[in-house]
Amino acid sequence: MSKVLIRAMVLPMTGPDSFYPQGEIAIENDRIVSVGAYGSVPTGFIPDRILELPNDVVMPGLINTHTHAAMTLLRSYADDLPLMPWLKEKVWPFEEKLTEEDIYWGTALALCEMIRSGTTTMLDMYASMDQVAEAVLMAGTRAVLSRGLIGNGPNGKRALEENIELVQRYHGAGAGRISIMFGPHAPYTCSAEYLRSVKVEADRLGVGIHIHVAETEDEIKIIQEQYGKTPVQWLDELGLFGGHVVAAHCVHLTPEDMDILASKRVCVAHNAESNMKLSSGTAPITELRAKGVILGLGTDSASSNNNLDLFGEMRSAALQQKLKVNSTALPAYEVLEMATLGGAQTLGLEDVGMLAPGFKADIISIDMDQPHFYPRFSIPAHLVYVAHAGDVRTVMVDGKLLMEERKLLTMDVGKVCQEAETRAKRINGELNG
Ligand SMILES: N[C@@H](CCSC[C@H]1O[C@@H](n2cnc3c(=O)[nH]cnc32)[C@H](O)[C@@H]1O)C(=O)O
Ligand SMILES: [Zn+2]
């Protein structure tokens, strides 16, 4: 039994006006007991530990709703290309050389970076997902994991079996910190028959589906030529929607596509920086919000971003919508919501994304006693337009501290960086001499 009391400025993300300049959060084991102003802690709550953080803003941990964590190994390896040549000429040949251990260490590197930048949960899509799960268990974060399924190739059947085994082995692992989804890669890499078999398995096992959708104009063209429809309409007619689905990107949508996403409750993972870097386009986030689509933020991989910093991603997402729509589009609090509660809803996690009694204690603190945070007019604006990864001081997941005073408690950062460096350079040597 552990009881922790945090005293700080508290932004619980329970509504645009909820903020406690002098707040208190009581935590018992993995859950929040109370959130309020000083003195609001229930009588009889005797903490084992008090974290006094009067100059920090404490908020829910950030949620990355679309990434390929182990691709930190490809960070700044292949840049300044559009999606299809980037994948086919650079990324996929590199990925063919990855061993299971490489994926473990690449994921560990991603988790170091995520914790340091205040991300407590990710939705990942990759291969060797047992290794990814083990890295997550070691790091102490929360994660939803999906096996990336490229169904048009020779390995499609085996990959689907691996995804099934992943559900059996890791769904609910780490006292519920890990859950599993199916990860069919995209409509252009999976046949109709393959997607149908994925849906059958997902329904049988009661888990969701995570897929790239409508990312580039190339994709729209390919699917239009092949099936005479948009990717969203194609997937809908196939029967892929209806259960829990996370559609990453959704950059190129018709009004009918948006209506389908809204009516089928498809959740959208928005990756503004990756979409800008690959020049994929600007997703219609303002319109999707207006239609009531559930939205989360993602970084996509460190190879198309090239970092996993959700603070940077919030800023980019806001600025990109303002550039496209107008300056009132996607205000700060709404972006923060996408990175917290919206992310939780996107991932189907009911007890994270807010600081409220009964919710999991997934909590971060941001050090506001720095020149770039004065004067303190608006905390949400500071968090979206000013803050960056290095401002995060404390990270807790499931009531357990993963970082204190910017020091990681669950991982040896030096060792992880060295392993990643050696392994990435080995592969580069094999490919490029
Ligand atoms: N090739 C793997 C499975 C795929 S995992 C998910 C895949 O998505 C790729 N990927 C990363 N970012 C993007 C993106 O933005 N769009 C499409 N695919 C991406 C990534 O390189 C990876 O190959 C196997 O061994 O079976
Ligand atoms: Zn992706």
User: pLDDT digit string (tens) for 103-132?
Assistant: 999 999 999 999 999 999 999 999 999 999
Q: What is the 3-state secondary structure (H, E, C) of 130-175?
A: HHHHHHHHHHCCEEEEEEEECCCCCCHHHHHHHHHHHHHHHCCHHH
Ligand 1 within 6 A of CB of 220? no
Residue 18 has pLDDT above 90, yes or no: yes
Using the mean position of ligand 2's atoms as its centre, give its distance from the Cα of residue 247 in Å.
Answer: 10
Strand duo 178-184 + 142-149: pairing: parallel
Can you give the pLDDT at residue 259? 98
- Ligand 1 in reach of 155 Cβ (< 6 A): yes
In the predicted model, is pLDDT for residue 140 greater than 90?
A: yes
**Which residues make up each annotated binding site for Zn(2+)?**
66, 68, 212, 300
Is the CB of residue 125 below 6 angstroms from any atom belonging to ligand 1?
Answer: yes
> Which ligand 1 atom lies nearest to the CA of residue 278?
15
| Ligand number, closest to the Cα atom of 71 | 1
Q: First and final CA of the chain: distance in angstroms? A: 55
Task: For residue 193, give both structure tokens.
Answer: 């028959």
Residues 7-33, mean pLDDT to the nearest whole number: 98
Q: pLDDT-derived band of residue 89, with 50, 70 and 90 as boundaries?
A: very high
Task: Name the band, by pLDDT with cuts 50, 70 and 90, for residue 138.
Answer: very high
77 pocket-lining for ligand 1 (C-beta < 6 Å): no
pLDDT at 153: 78
**Average of per-residue pLDDT across 267-287:** 98
- Whole-angstrom distance, CA of residue 217 vs CA of residue 23: 48
- Residue 152: asked if its preceding bond is cis (omega within 30°), the reply is no
User: Does ligand 1 have an atom closer than 6 angstroms to the CB of 63?
Assistant: no
Q: State the pLDDT at residue 413.
A: 98
Contacts of 197 by beta carbon, 8 Å cutoff, 6+ apart:
160
Q: Computed over its alpha carbons, how large is the radius of gyration of the chain?
A: 21
From ligand 1's centre to the CA of 101, what distance in Å? 18
* Overall average pLDDT of the 402-415 stretch: 98
pLDDT reading at 152 higher than 90: no
Q: Which of 65, 86, 125, 274 to mutate to test the pocket of ligand 1 (most atoms within 8 A of CB)?
A: 125
Helix pair angle (332-339, 310-324), 10° resolution: 130
- Which residue minimizes the CA distance to atom 23 of ligand 1? 92
User: Is the pLDDT at 433 greater than 90, yes or no?
Assistant: no
List the domains of the chain with CATH numbers.
3-60+360-408 (2.30.40.10), 62-346 (3.20.20.140)
Task: Output the CA 170–ligand 1 centroid distance in Å.
Answer: 21
Q: For residue 67, how far is its CA from the centre of ligand 2 (angstroms)?
A: 6
pLDDT band at 179 (very low <50, low <70, confident <90, very high): very high
**CA-to-CA dists, residue 265 to 246, 260, 296, angstroms:** 9, 8, 13
Mean pLDDT of 34-42: 96
**So what's the pLDDT on residue 94?**
98
Q: What is the mean pLDDT of residues 324-333?
A: 98
Rounded Cα–Cα distance for residues 270 and 299 (Å): 8
Q: Is residue 141 exposed (0-12), middle (13-18) or buried (19+ Cβ within 10 Å)?
A: buried
Residues 6+ apart with CB under 8 A from 425: none
- Ligand 1 test: best mutation among 64, 65, 66, 68, most atoms within 8 Å of CB? 68
**pTM, full prediction:** 0.98
152 vs 161: CA distance, rounded Å? 15
Record the tokens describing residue 23, joined without a space: 């707040």
Q: Is the ipTM of this complex over 0.90?
A: yes
Q: Is 367 helix (H, G, I), strand (E, B) or coil?
A: strand
Answer yes or no: are the C-beta atoms of 424 and 77 closer than 8 Å. yes
Closest ligand 1 atom number to CA of residue 147: 5
> Which residue has its alpha carbon closest to ligand 1 atom 15?
300
pLDDT for position 1 = 80
Check residue 86 and give its pLDDT: 94
Q: Which ligand is nearest to the CA of 278?
A: 1
Helix (H/G/I), strand (E/B), else coil: 270: strand
In this prediction, residue 175 carries a pLDDT of 97
Rounded distance from Cα 267 to ligand 2 centre (Å) = 15
